[in-house]
Structure 1
Amino acid sequence: MKINKKTLDNGLRLVHHEDTSTQMVALNVVYDVGARDEHPDHTGFAHLFEHLMFGGSVHIPDYDAPLQLAGGENNAWTNNDITNYYLTVPKSNVETGFWLESDRMLELAFSEQSLEVQRGVVMEEFKQRCLNQPYGDVGHLLRPLAYEVHPYRWPTIGKELSHIANATLDEVKDFFYRYYAPNNAVLAVTGNISWTDTVRLAEKWFAPVPRRDVPVRSLPREPLQTGERRRTVERNVPLDALFMAYHMCSREDADYYAFDILSDILSNGRSSRLNRRLVQEQKLFSSLDAYISGTRDAGLVHISGKPAAGVSLEQAEAAVRKELGELKNALVGTQELEKVKNKFESAQIFGNINYLNVATNLAWFELAGQAEDIDREVDKYRSVTAEQLHTVAEQAFREENSAVLYYKKQN
């Protein structure tokens, strides 16, 4: 992939890939701030900011209106590590995108009214997703079970509703000026726009945004877990559910790719081990899933499922542990491993056909290391061996490395 890069004087990293097969352009801005950067007593701020960034900026009272008039669309998302904003716009109106994104990087239109509106939206989302939805509080239960000191111990939406309810305008402003800075962001531009035009527009609109004093990140390192952790809760839900988590490495670690492949061997498609054996053949689960958190700091392998009628949580857990034991006791076969690698390669290739996906991926890879890593992902997965999978499974899938949540239906 032909990638162009430049760092502006204010520290903003600019990455670009031209795609003349579309008449659209995508701008993706990723800020190096997520829920892990929050104070334990003031959580949910990164997610609140995702909403506040659409509430108007210093020179533009309404973000959505001019973009819609230009034929564009936008959205955003936050996780524990980053906050990501993107828009798409016809190439003839691309300058509108640069104007909008640069102005809200410069300064938001801070007001008590805007804060009140967006705070209300986020609080409703918290209630809807975490309090009023079956199994909605799993993140609030499992995360602090798995993590004792690292800020991954709370979900992106926040530890508790009061943290958002009590957020003040001064606290919000402080969060913005600490993290929403050109020298803490990457701008990826893809689609039907030349590198020359991209640099010209970036210099025109983003270069005037001042560099800010971004705090040096110093997060507590999660200590090695030495004993199994368990919790049982009862809730008004239709079915019992099992949630298990095992500590794994960070996104930057070489073993990350082995963990990702292991999760796919367990639960990617109808022929995956957990699906085929425990859902289809033994009928112990009505549904069962395995995935990795993919976090920049040391993450988790998640396994979650709902046992079939008449199957206890103890039986269900024992069946899962038996499958994990097989990964520790025997090498994954060549054909099974190759199938998973082929699936990933095809997903990677097809995923990077779309100009917007390319913008999002380029921004992420540049933030995490360098944009050119986007072309090395397939090779990294291809290099994983059966022996590496065996070693990683032995290290990770130990009882003393696990957190187990029994989520029981109230009688």
Structure 2
Amino acid sequence: MINYKRYQLANGLRVLLQEDPSSPMLTLCMNYEVGSKDELPGRSGFAHLFEHLMFAGSLHAPNFDQLIQLAGGENNAFTNQDMTVFYDILPYQNLDLGLWLEADRMQNLCIEPQPLQKEKRVVVEEFKESCMEEPYGDLWHILGDLAFKEHPYKRPVIGENFEHIEAASLEEVREFYENYYCPNNAVLSISGNIKAEEVLERVEHWFGHIPRGAVKRPAYAAEPPQLVGRKKVHRANVTDAALYMAFPAAARLETAYYLEDLLSDILGLSDSSLLVRQLVKQQKLFSELDVYITGTVEAGLFVIEGKLQEGVAIEQAEQAVWAALEEFKAQPISEEQLQKLQNNTEHNLLFGEILPFQKALSLGYYELLGQAQLINEEADYYQQITAKQLELQAQFLFQQEKASVLYYLPKA
């Protein structure tokens, strides 16, 4: 059981505090409820751009990284479709420094022509290197567009193209910042050698005066049900053919999410998993194979992907995947296998939240979902799953009319 305390300031900032006297360090996470799905059409990549801009300096702290490092800490950030997260790991004595820095860049980020142009160049270069030069780097530009027809999850987090970032005006960037980077769109989660009541006073001191923001999100259409299978062939400068099969998956807070998470483990977690054992080890059709869910807040994707062995026809590989899935649907997992998998999942959840860093990240994430208590409840959700539920979910999920299949092939 992870004990924590939850507060909310008058300006809307949600605060999650977890006391862990076992560590000399603390982790401070600033979680903003803005991701790539919140971007306007034609202005993709803004959330990721701000992941960079937030380190470019604020009114009272022109060099964020240097101040953290001089205090014996480290920091980083990440962006996904639903949120942007910044974290600082510091000796607990330097909590005030972390709070001051995060509050300053929440209210006083320096969005000026010179730093903006610098970060735009960095982001554009990252786009070119990761999406245009790396093998399979454009995968999510293709697969996302194939699997989603309406929902903004079709756009990659890094952006649809680098021209959107190049064309971003100073006014547009400032508007994005003022709309989303405000206390009522954020969660502050802290874990470490702290006293909750004392820390809350410091949080109120540094953040309490920051005004609420408007937080106007663009409207977007719900993704319609997929009724017909989709297939696309893409050729690029790669050496190995790859197969990608994506199925519409449950939203993060739906019961089916937990079923599909276990299904992905059954099919592709390890060398003994069904698809890996059959298609990599036994039939030797794939050199590597992975199965995962995207785990997005709204309905996402269940993905099976693998690189083919040389000389294997991609149509043969796809047929083998379908055959294995049909076999699994007809012969579901035994109760003994399920219990072993459930115990392994519970072990990973518990041991994945030992350090203050892990607990602060999880508390912020669950609070953004609106259910901070999940940090203590999710293991029970997995334990309650039955083999029959997994069987029915597999039959519902793995249907050819629901599949978006991508053949990613070397150029002829």
Normalised by the shorter chain, which TM-score bucket? over 0.9
Equivalences for residues 25-104 of structure 1 within 5 A: 25-104=26-105
Match of 1:373 in 2: 374
> Displacement, 1:217?
6.0
Q: Give the Cα separation in 2 of the matches to 1:395 and 1:219.
A: 26
Q: Work out the percentage of aligned pairs sharing the same amino acid.
A: 45
Deviation at 1:336, TM superposition (A): 2.0
Match of 1:116, SS state, is helix
- Counterpart CA distance in 1 for 2:135 and 2:357 is 33
Q: Which moved more, 1:335-344 or 1:169-178?
A: 335-344
Structure 1 residue 306 and structure 2 residue 304: aligned? no
Given the superposition, is the C-alpha separation of residues 161 and 216 from structure 1 closer, same or farther in structure 2, using an over 3 Å criterion? closer
- 1:228 is the counterpart of 2:226: no
Tell me what 1:257 maps to: 258
Q: Which one-letter code corresponds to 1:351 in the other structure?
A: G
Q: How far did 1:107 drift?
A: 2.4
Give the structure 2 partner of residue 125 of structure 1: 126
* Counterpart position of 2:185: 184
Distance 1:270 1:24, change over 3 A: same
1:150-178 superposed Cα distances (whole Å, 9 cap, x missing partner)? 00011100011100111111110010111
- 1:317-396 matches, within 5 Å, as 317-396=318-397
Letter paired with 1:260: D
Structure 1 letter corresponding to 2:396 = Q
Aligned to 2:169: 168
Normalising by structure 2, we get a TM-score of 0.98
Q: For 1:95 and 1:326, how far apart are their aligned partners in 2? A: 58
**Which deviations, in whole Å up to 9, do the C-alpha atoms of 1:292-311 show, x marking residues without a partner?**
00001111001110111221
* Counterpart amino acid of residue 235 in structure 1: A
The 1-side partners of 2:96 and 2:202 are apart by 7
Where does structure 2 lack aligned partners over 5 or more consecutive residues? none
2:206 — aligned with what? 205
Distance 2:57 2:381 in 1: 42
1:281 aligned to 2:288?
no
Indicate conservation of the 8 Å contact 1:265/1:336, yes or no. no
CA RMSD of aligned residues (A): 1.0
How many angstroms does 1:335 deviate by? 2.2
Query: Separation in 2 of the partners of 1:305 and 1:67?
Result: 41
Structure 2 SS opposite 1:325 = helix
The aligned amino acid for 2:271 is R
**Taking structure 1 as the reference length, what is the TM-score of the superposition?**
0.98
Deviation at 1:38, TM superposition (A): 0.6
Please give the per-residue CA displacement for 1:228-276, whole angstroms capped at 9, x wherever unaligned. 1111011111111111100011001111000000000001111111111
Determine if contact 2:61/2:104 at 8 Å carries over to the other structure: yes
Aligned to 2:21: 20
Q: Indicate if the aligned counterparts of 1:28 and 1:85 stay in contact, CA closer than 8 A.
A: yes
What amino acid is aligned across from residue 23 of structure 2 in structure 1?
T
Deviation at 1:192, TM superposition (A): 0.5
> Conserved in 2, the CA contact under 8 Å of 1:130 and 1:137?
yes
Which position in structure 2 is the counterpart of 1:410? 411
Match of 1:154 in 2: 155
What residue identity is the alignment partner of 2:72?
G
Q: Name the aligned partner's letter for residue 167 of structure 2.
A: N
Unaligned runs of at least 5 residues, structure 1: none
Q: Are the counterparts in 1 of residues 40 and 218 from structure 2 also a CA contact under 8 Å?
A: no
State how far apart, in whole Å, the 2-side matches of 1:217 and 1:42 are.
12
Shift of 1:219: 3.0
Q: Counterpart of 1:207 in structure 2: which amino acid?
A: G
CA distance in 1, matches of 2:327, 2:304: 16
Once the two structures are TM-superposed, the CA of residue 209 in structure 1 deviates from its matched residue by 1.1
Deviates more, 1:361-370 or 1:209-218: 209-218
User: Alpha-carbon deviation of 1:226?
Assistant: 1.0
Rounded to whole Å, the distance in 1 between the matches of 2:272 and 2:390 is: 19
**Structure 1 counterpart SS, 2:317:** helix
Q: Secondary structure at the match of 1:310?
A: coil
What CA distance in whole angstroms lies between the structure 2 residues aligned with 1:314 and 1:404?
A: 11
- What do the CA deviations read for 1:296-355 (whole angstroms, capped 9, x no partner)? 111100111011122110011111111221232232111222222122111111111011
* SS across alignment from 1:371: coil
Distance 1:18 1:27 in 2: 12
For the residue of structure 2 that corresponds to 1:255, the secondary structure is helix
Quote how far apart the aligned CAs of 1:40 are: 1.8
Moved more, 211-220 or 54-63: 211-220
Q: Which residue matches 1:116?
A: 117
**Matched residue pairs, number?**
411
Distance 2:356 2:62 in 1: 29
Question: What letter is aligned with 1:202?
Answer: V
- Note if contact 2:247-2:301 (Cα within 8 Å) is conserved in structure 1: yes
Asked whether the 8 Å contact 1:80–1:156 carries over to 2, the reply is: yes
Is contact 1:189–1:198 with CA below 8 Å preserved after alignment?
no
1:216: how far off? 5.0
CA distance in 2 between counterparts of 1:106 and 1:75 reads 19
Cα gap change, 1:166 to 1:217, in 2 (>3 Å): closer
